[in-house]
C-alpha cells in the first residue's frame, strides 16, 4: 500500500498538482468574458493564479503555472475558434482542433513569460502584476496583435467599465490584476483593500455614466442585417436571395438619413458592381448608403467599404488595413500553399491587401465617421490615427464566429471602443448582433443574433474627447513600468 501511494505523495510534495489546477483556474477566469460575464469568476480565477505563483518553487515552475493558466483561459475564451474551419468542413475541418490548441497554447506563452520573469527576479506578486499587464499590451501589438479576450473586458458587466474612458481596457486589466493580487494575500487588510477598491471602481463608474449629453432631432441611421450564414453567403443560388432581402430593407419606409450594409454584404467586386449599385441606389433614393464589398486594384484584392451617394456615384472608398492573419491573408503564402492551406476568408490568391490605415468617411450633415471593418474594432490603438470623428461605424460579418460566444465577445469589445473614445458606435453585422451604442457604451437599440431585418435608430450624441481619447495607453504604460521598477527596487532592498 505504501509503495502504491508513494508516487502520489511525491507528486504532491513536488507541487506538480498546481499545474493542472492553474489550467482549471484559467478556464474559470475566462467566464468573465461574454456571453457569461461573470466578473467574480474572473477576479477569483486570477487571484488563484497569483496564489499559485507565490508558492512556485522555481522560475521554471512559475512559468508552467502561467502557461497552464493561460492555456485554460484561452481554450474557453476562444472556444469559438473552430467555427470558421467548419464553414467548409471538407476542406478545413481537420485544422479546427489544431487551431484551438495552437491558439490557446501559443497565446499562453505571453503569460508564461511574466510568471517566469517575476519569479526569476524575485519580485513577488507585485512585480508580476505590472509584468502581466505589460504582457497583455504586448499581446495586442506583437505580430500585428491579437488582444481578444483581455481580462479587463470582465468589467463590462458592471459600471466600472466606464473607467475605460480614462484608462482604456489595458488599464482595467491592470486594475483587475491588482485586486486579484490583494485577494491572493489571504489576509484581512489586503482583502478589505480589494473590496474597497472594487466598490470605488463600481461607484465611480456609475457616477461617470451620468455624464451623457442629450440631442434632439438627431439623424436616423438604418442598419441592415441580412442573416446570411457563412456556408451560404457565396452560394450562387442563395446570393440573389440575400441581395434582394437587403434591397427590400433598404427601400422600406420611412426613409432614414443613412443606410449601412454589413461587411462584404455585396457579393460582387466593386469593379463589376455597376448594375447592383444602381439597384441599391434606386432603392435608397436620395439616402446615402455605406456598404461593404470587395474590390480589385493592380491585381490585389481589398476588403472595403464604400459610400454610395444618392445620385448613384461612389464618392469614397475605405480599405481595411488591419487584416486577420490566417483568415484574410497568409504570412507566408507560398509555404502554406505547398501544404494545401489557404486563408479562410481570402477571395484571391495570397489573401487580401492591406489598406493605408485609418481614415474618415465624410457623411455630410451626419458628420464624419471612422469606419471599422470587423476585426479592426478589437484594437484600441487603431481608433487614434485620425482627426476626431462624429461617430464610429463598424461593418462586420460575425457569421464566421458561430452562434454562441464569438459574436457576443466581438460585440462587447466594440462597446468598449465607444466608452474609450466617448463616441457613439453603430454596428451593422451580417448575422448579428447589429446594435447602436451611445457614447457611454449603453446599447440603445439592437437586432439579435441569427435574425434577418433592419434597425432604425437615432444617432446618439458624442461626448468631448475622453482622457483615453487624448492620451491613449501611454499613461498606463508609464505607470506599469514605474510599478515594475519600484517592485524590483523593493525586492533588491529586501534581499540586502
Residues with Cβ within 8 Å of residue 391, at least 6 apart in sequence: 366, 367, 369, 370, 423, 424, 425, 426, 459, 460, 462
Residues with Cβ within 8 Å of residue 451, at least 6 apart in sequence: 225, 227, 432
The half-sphere exposure of 30 on its side-chain side, counting CA atoms within 13 A, is: 24
Q: In the chain, what is the straight-line distance between the N-terminal and C-terminal CA atoms, in Å?
A: 48
Is 320 one of the annotated active-site residues of the chain? yes
3-class SS letters over 451-487: CCEEEEEECCCCCCCCHHHHHCCHHHHHHHHHHHHHH
For residue 91, give the C-alpha cell. 476542406
Answer yes or no: are the C-beta atoms of 71 and 448 closer than 8 Å. Answer: no
Whether the link from the prior residue into 274 is cis, omega within 30° of 0, is no
How far apart CA 410 and CA 432 sit, in angstroms, is: 11
For residue 325, give the C-alpha cell. 492573419
Is 296 one of the annotated active-site residues of the chain? no
Is 376 one of the annotated active-site residues of the chain? no
For residue 332, give the C-alpha cell. 507566408
Q: Strand, coil or helix: what is 15? A: coil
Of the listed 83, 263, 376, 420, which one is catalytic?
263
Answer yes or no: are the C-beta atoms of 76 and 39 closer than 8 Å. Answer: no
Of the listed 83, 233, 374, 420, which one is catalytic?
374
Answer yes or no: are the C-beta atoms of 87 and 53 closer than 8 Å. Answer: no
Answer yes or no: are the C-beta atoms of 130 and 174 closer than 8 Å. Answer: yes
The C-alpha torsion from 345 through 349 and 351 to 355, rounded to 10°, is: -130
Q: Give the phi and the psi of residue 295 in degrees, each rounded to 5.
A: -145, 160
Of the listed 320, 328, 376, 420, which one is catalytic?
320
Q: Give the phi and the psi of residue 129 in degrees, each rounded to 5.
A: -55, -60
How far apart CA 438 and CA 440 sit, in angstroms, is: 5
For residue 73, give the C-alpha cell. 483561459
Helices assigned H by DSSP within 329-422:
333-338, 405-421
DSSP H or E run through 107:
helix 96-120
Answer yes or no: are the C-beta atoms of 314 and 307 closer than 8 Å. Answer: yes
Q: Which of 351, 295, 360 is nearest to 324 (CA)?
A: 351
Task: Give the catalytic positions in this structure.
Answer: 263, 320, 374
Amino acid at each position: 500500500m505504501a509503495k502504491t501511494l508513494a508516487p502520489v505523495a511525491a507528486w504532491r510534495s513536488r507541487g506538480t498538482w498546481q499545474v493542472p489546477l492553474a489550467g482549471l483556474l484559467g478556464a474559470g477566469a475566462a467566464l468573465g468574458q461574454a456571453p457569461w460575464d461573470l466578473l467574480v469568476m474572473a477576479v477569483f480565477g486570477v487571484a488563484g493564479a497569483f496564489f499559485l505563483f507565490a508558492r512556485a518553487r522555481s522560475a521554471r515552475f512559475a512559468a508552467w503555472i502561467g502557461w497552464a493558466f493561460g492555456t485554460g483561459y484561452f481554450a474557453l475564451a476562444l472556444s469559438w475558434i473552430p467555427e470558421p474551419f467548419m464553414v467548409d468542413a471538407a476542406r478545413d475541418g481537420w485544422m479546427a482542433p489544431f487551431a484551438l490548441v495552437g491558439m490557446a497554447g501559443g497565446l499562453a506563452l505571453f503569460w508564461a513569460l511574466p510568471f517566469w520573469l517575476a519569479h526569476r527576479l524575485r519580485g513577488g506578486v507585485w512585480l508580476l502584476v505590472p509584468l502581466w499587464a505589460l504582457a497583455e499590451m504586448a499581446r495586442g501589438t506583437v505580430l500585428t496583435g491579437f488582444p481578444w479576450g483581455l481580462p479587463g473586458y470582465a468589467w463590462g458587466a458592471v459600471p466600472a467599465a466606464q473607467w475605460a474612458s480614462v484608462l482604456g481596457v489595458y488599464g482595467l486589466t491592470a486594475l483587475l490584476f491588482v485586486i486579484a493580487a490583494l485577494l491572493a494575500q489571504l489576509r484581512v487588510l489586503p482583502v478589505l483593500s480589494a473590496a474597497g477598491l472594487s466598490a470605488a471602481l463600481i461607484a465611480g463608474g456609475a457616477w461617470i455614466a451620468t455624464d451623457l449629453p442629450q440631442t434632439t432631432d438627431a439623424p436616423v441611421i438604418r442598419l441592415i442585417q441580412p442573416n446570411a450564414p457563412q456556408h451560404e453567403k457565396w452560394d450562387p443560388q442563395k446570393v440573389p436571395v440575400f441581395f434582394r432581402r437587403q434591397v427590400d430593407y433598404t427601400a422600406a419606409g420611412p426613409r432614414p438619413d443613412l443606410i449601412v450594409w454589413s461587411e462584404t454584404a455585396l457579393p460582387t467586386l466593386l469593379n463589376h458592381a455597376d448594375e447592383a449599385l444602381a439597384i441599391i441606389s434606386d432603392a435608397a433614393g436620395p439616402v446615402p448608403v455605406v456598404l461593404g464589398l470587395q474590390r480589385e486594384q493592380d491585381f490585389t484584392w481589398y476588403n472595403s467599404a464604400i459610400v454610395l451617394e444618392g445620385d448613384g456615384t461612389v464618392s469614397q472608398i475605405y480599405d481595411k488595413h488591419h487584416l486577420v492573419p490566417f483568415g484574410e491573408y497568409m504570412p507566408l503564402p507560398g509555404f502554406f500553399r505547398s501544404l494545401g492551406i489557404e486563408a479562410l476568408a481570402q477571395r484571391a490568391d495570397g489573401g487580401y491587401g492591406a489598406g493605408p490605415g485609418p481614415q474618415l468617411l465624410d457623411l455630410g450633415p451626419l458628420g464624419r465617421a471612422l469606419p471599422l471593418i470587423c476585426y479592426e474594432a478589437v484594437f484600441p490603438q487603431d481608433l487614434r490615427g485620425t482627426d476626431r470623428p462624429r461617430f464610429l461605424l463598424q461593418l462586420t460579418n460575425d457569421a464566421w464566429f458561430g452562434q454562441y460566444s464569438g459574436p457576443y465577445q466581438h460585440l462587447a469589445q466594440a462597446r468598449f471602443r465607444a466608452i474609450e473614445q466617448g463616441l457613439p458606435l453603430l454596428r451593422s453585422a451580417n448575422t448579428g448582433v447589429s446594435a447602436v451604442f451611445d457614447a457611454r457604451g449603453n446599447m440603445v437599440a439592437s437586432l439579435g443574433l441569427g435574425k434577418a431585418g433592419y434597425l432604425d435608430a437615432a444617432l446618439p450624441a458624442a461626448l468631448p474627447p475622453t482622457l483615453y481619447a487624448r492620451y491613449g495607453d501611454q499613461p498606463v504604460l508609464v505607470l506599469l513600468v514605474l510599478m515594475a521598477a519600484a517592485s524590483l527596487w523593493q525586492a533588491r532592498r529586501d534581499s540586502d
